[in-house]
A and B are shown apart, each in its own frame.
Chain A
Amino acid sequence: MVPFGGYDMPVQYAGGIMAEHKHTRTAAGLFDVSHMGQVVLQGADAAAALETLMPVDVIDLPMLKQRYGLFTNANGGLLDDLMITRRPDDIFVIVNAGCKVQDIAHMQAQIGTRCEVIPQPERALLALQGPQAVIALSRLNPEVAKLTFMTGGFFSLDGIETFLTRSGYTGEDGFEISVANAEAVALARKLLAQPEVKPIGLGARDTLRLEAGLCLYGHDINTETTPIEASITWAIQKVRRAGGARAGGYPGAAVIDKQLLEGATRKRVGLISTERVPVREGAKIVDADGKELGIVTSGSLGPTVNQPVALAYLATSHTAVGAQVFALVRDKRVAMTVTTTPFTPHRYYRG
């Protein structure tokens, strides 16, 4: 067990990180992610209000669709990343554990007069991830199989009421299930009773999301990184960019619109090595002459890729796919190549 975001969390169960990682990629893994913050925004003005905090199209988000969101600060830096789902009676938001107190305060302070910001500490969150997740979950309710990636709905799972979405943080098909705390253990037991399902700890959650090329807040993104630098401009819909119908109107819009137009001086990229030594967070990246280019923000041996993989911020001059750079590990140079992410293909179910 380790402290994480104010919670004691299991790094791994009996099988170990490698086995848990591979199990999730081939069968189905159950993650207890109840430490994350669940919040609902109520009121007719909730979507429009939430839009004032991020460069993301919330107003046009269709019913029961889910979207990736970003809270920005006045400099265009990232206060948090989050998931947003439109439901019939509210907007349902899931934020990072380590940010939830400040996120809730931020929403209450900035949009609390336009909508009701209601934290849901009475709800737990379970993620069921992997190619066989849908087989396992369908036994509790066959209707879940009809969902496609980034859509959700209210489902009774063998008698337990839940709200779930077909999404996750592993790059695999899967579901994130919001359930009342009082029924969370019973639901977890029902899921673990399925032959495809094993419990997965934080360690494999990190290697799975890293191979999937997904950012970890506080490491790959933070208040000092803009969405352009972080290479997540896909999260900014056209309607919110300069020239769009609802351009600007959120913190840092001037910086973000300028960078969307002109680019940034550094950018987050994927790096892969043909050597065996893991390249970890904090490793410096240099060019052939030893000139510093940037720093690794996440890195490990990718258990599925079976090579060291990393996310790093590099000077834009060296971010082209195929560029050769070197990571400094204990003062030794490790050759790495800039590559596209994800490192392992996403296998989302799009119908």
Chain B
Amino acid sequence: MTTKYTPDHEWINIEDHEAAVVGITHHAQDALGDVVFVDLPEVGKTFAKGEIAGVVESVKAAADLFMPVNGEVVEVNEALRAEPALANTDPLGNGWFFKVRVSNMADFDELMDPPAYDALLKTL
């Protein structure tokens, strides 16, 4: 199991824990609608789990992007900055937001696995 989910509808893929990939889920992009702007964190900056690391804005709303684990940002998706609609068209792929070096694997273990996230979606 390399992908987990947060209650804020973000996903994190930890295939490479030196550069775990973070994005928003299908549900999040669908709720936001047309994404027109993303504010991405600075590379090299360290965040605590739950801290606001960026912002994603659609025509109708602005939503905070939370850091899913404690860690340091090692890369941001410049393609997404140039074409924010990637967050709608390919949220789990080319629409990723940033990569993070995970400082504590226990943070990852605490997140929801796919069945748990699916169960959360069913309650909405």
Interface residues of A (CB under 8 A from B): 11-12, 16-18, 21, 203, 207, 276-278, 280, 300-301, 303, 330
> Do residues B60 and A11 form an inter-chain contact, with CB atoms below 8 A?
yes
| Stretch among B29-37, B90-98, B114-122 lining the A interface | B29-37
Ordered by A's residue number, 7 sampled pairs between the chains whose C-beta atoms are within 8 Å are: A11-B60, A17-B59, A18-B34, A276-B37, A277-B39, A278-B59, A301-B59
- A330 interface neighbour in B33, B39, B84, Cβ under 8 Å: B39
Q: What B residues does A276 contact at CB under 8 A?
A: 36-37, 84
Q: What A residues does B34 contact at CB under 8 A?
A: 16-18
Q: What B residues does A203 contact at CB under 8 A?
A: 33, 59-60
Q: Is the CB of B62 closer than 8 A to any CB of chain A? A: yes
> Do residues B33 and A278 form an inter-chain contact, with CB atoms below 8 A?
no
B84 to chain A, nearest CB (A): 8
Q: Is the CB of B55 closer than 8 A to any CB of chain A? A: yes
Q: What B residues does A278 contact at CB under 8 A?
A: 36-37, 57, 59, 62
Interface-central residue, B34, B37, B62, by most chain A CB under 10 Å? B34
Contact size class for B? 10 to 19
Residue of B nearest to A300 (CB): B59
Main secondary structure, interface of B, reads strand
* Closest 8 A/B residue pairs (Cβ): A18-B34, A301-B36, A17-B59, A276-B37, A277-B37, A203-B60, A278-B57, A16-B34
* Given A12-B33, A17-B34, A203-B33: A277 touches B60 (CB 8 Å cut-off): no
Known: A12-B33, A17-B34, A300-B59. 7 other contacts (CB 8 A): A17-B33, A17-B58, A276-B84, A277-B37, A278-B37, A301-B36, A301-B37
Interface string of B9-35 (1 = CB under 8 A from A): 000000000000000000000000110
Residue of A nearest to B64 (CB): A330
Number of A-B contacts (CB under 8 A): 38
- The CA-CA distance from A278 to B60 in the complex, in Å, is 10
Interface residues of B (CB under 8 A from A): 33-34, 36-37, 39, 55, 57-60, 62, 84
> Do residues A277 and B59 form an inter-chain contact, with CB atoms below 8 A?
no
Q: What A residues does B33 contact at CB under 8 A?
A: 11-12, 16-18, 203
> Do residues B57 and A18 form an inter-chain contact, with CB atoms below 8 A?
no
Q: What B residues does A11 contact at CB under 8 A?
A: 33, 60
A20 to chain B, nearest CB (A): 10
- The CA-CA distance from A18 to B89 in the complex, in Å, is 14
Q: What A residues does B58 contact at CB under 8 A?
A: 17
Q: What B residues does A301 contact at CB under 8 A?
A: 36-37, 59
- The CA-CA distance from A90 to B34 in the complex, in Å, is 44
Q: What A residues does B36 contact at CB under 8 A?
A: 276, 278, 301
Q: What B residues does A303 contact at CB under 8 A?
A: 59
- The CA-CA distance from A58 to B62 in the complex, in Å, is 43
Residue of B nearest to A332 (CB): B39
Residue of B nearest to A11 (CB): B60
A304 to chain B, nearest CB (A): 12
Q: What A residues does B60 contact at CB under 8 A?
A: 11-12, 17, 203
Residue of A nearest to B85 (CB): A18
- A18 interface neighbour in B37, B59, B62, Cβ under 8 Å: B59
Q: What A residues does B55 contact at CB under 8 A?
A: 330
- B62 interface neighbour in A12, A17, A21, A280, Cβ under 8 Å: A280
- The CA-CA distance from A277 to B39 in the complex, in Å, is 8
Q: What B residues does A17 contact at CB under 8 A?
A: 33-34, 58-60
Interface-central residue, B39, B59, B62, by most chain A CB under 10 Å? B59
A295 to chain B, nearest CB (A): 17
- The CA-CA distance from A16 to B37 in the complex, in Å, is 16
Q: What B residues does A21 contact at CB under 8 A?
A: 59
Residue of A nearest to B34 (CB): A18
Residue of A nearest to B59 (CB): A17
- The CA-CA distance from A297 to B10 in the complex, in Å, is 31
Q: What B residues does A277 contact at CB under 8 A?
A: 37, 39, 57
Residue of B nearest to A18 (CB): B34
- The CA-CA distance from A300 to B61 in the complex, in Å, is 9
